[in-house]
């Protein structure tokens, strides 16, 4: 799919391939500028934030996995950098010099970024990634996990229906959750 990175490209990024990093930059830079500018208003500041997001990606590349969702990583990083910038504005000298209207706009944008409904893009990416990861699970793990999480069945009910022990159900759930945690850590990246 054009624009989407495959695991081989992510592997190259992790090992320091600058041409892959340049491709990622070209793919997402403009969209991230628009995203950041919605919150920080000033285009130059949006550009600085996005550049810093790319620097962080490069610096943290070795902690990524080949299943990493680079787009989500960059949006989350940009969002967090926007929040940091807005917090800085609110307490710094520049905050005092801004027009009252601009201050209110920045405060509202800060509230919007902290509001879970403002994270629609990130949430939909996360949901898509979770579904993909669940489908990657071995059949029995997937079945047990779905019965527990989606059908809201107790371990004992699952064990009885599948004719396995409760300990086996616990092991399947544990393996499924570990698989999800291992592959979703960039969604929960905290500065």
> What would the two tokens of residue 182 be?
């291992």
Q: Are 180 and 127 in contact (CB under 8 A)?
A: no
Checking if the pLDDT of 104 tops 70, the result is: no
Closest CA to 39 of 140, 114, 147: 114
Closest CA to 129 of 73, 62, 183, 64: 183
At what angle are helices 139-149 and 166-184 packed, to 10 degrees?
A: 90
The set of residues, in sequence order, having a beta carbon less than 8 Å from that of 71 and lying 6+ positions away, is: 28, 125
Mean predicted confidence (pLDDT) in 131-135: 85
The topology under which CATH files domain 7-114 is Rna Polymerase Sigma Factor; Chain: A (1.10.1740)
Q: Quick one: pLDDT at residue 120?
A: 62
pTM for this prediction:
0.53
The set of residues, in sequence order, having a beta carbon less than 8 Å from that of 132 and lying 6+ positions away, is: none
Task: Specify the CATH class of 130-185 in words.
Answer: mainly alpha
Q: Are 9 and 20 in contact (CB under 8 A)?
A: yes
Closest CA to 144 of 118, 120, 165, 116: 165
Q: Distance of CA 35 to CAs 83, 136, 181, Å?
A: 13, 31, 27
- Residue at token pair 């996360």: 126
Checking if the pLDDT of 128 tops 80, the result is: no
Q: Are 129 and 68 in contact (CB under 8 A)?
A: no
**How many CB atoms within 10 Å of residue 71?**
19
Q: Which stretch of 54-58, 134-138, 143-147, 179-183 has the lowest confidence by average pLDDT? A: 179-183
Band (46; pLDDT cuts 50, 70, 90): very high
The more confident residue out of 20 and 91 is 20
The set of residues, in sequence order, having a beta carbon less than 8 Å from that of 137 and lying 6+ positions away, is: 145, 175, 176, 179
Domain boundaries, the chain: 7-114, 130-185
Closest CA to 106 of 50, 179, 186, 38: 38
Q: What is the mean pLDDT of the chain?
A: 82
> What would the two tokens of residue 85 be?
């910038």
Checking if the pLDDT of 119 tops 70, the result is: no
């Amino acid at each position: 799919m054009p624009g989407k990175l495959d695991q081989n490209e992510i592997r190259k990024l992790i090992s320091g391939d600058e041409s892959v990093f340049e491709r990622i930059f070209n793919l997402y830079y403009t969209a991230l500028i628009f995203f950041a500018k919605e919150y920080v208003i000033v285009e130059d500041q949006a550009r600085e934030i996005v550049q810093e997001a790319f620097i962080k990606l490069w610096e943290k590349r070795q902690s990524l996995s080949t299943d990493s969702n680079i787009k989500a990583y960059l949006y989350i990083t940009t969002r967090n950098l926007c929040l940091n910038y807005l917090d800085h504005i609110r307490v710094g000298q520049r905050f005092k010099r801004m027009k009252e209207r601009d201050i209110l706009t920045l405060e509202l944008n800060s509230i919007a970024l902290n509001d879970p409904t403002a994270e629609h893009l990130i949430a939909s990416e996360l949901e898509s990634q979770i579904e993909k990861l669940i489908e990657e699970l071995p059949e029995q793990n997937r079945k047990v996990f779905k019965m527990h999480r989606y059908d809201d069945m107790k371990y004992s009910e699952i064990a009885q229906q599948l004719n396995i022990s409760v300990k086996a159900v616990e092991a399947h759930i544990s393996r499924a959750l570990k698989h999800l945690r291992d592959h979703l850590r960039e969604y929960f990246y905290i500065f």
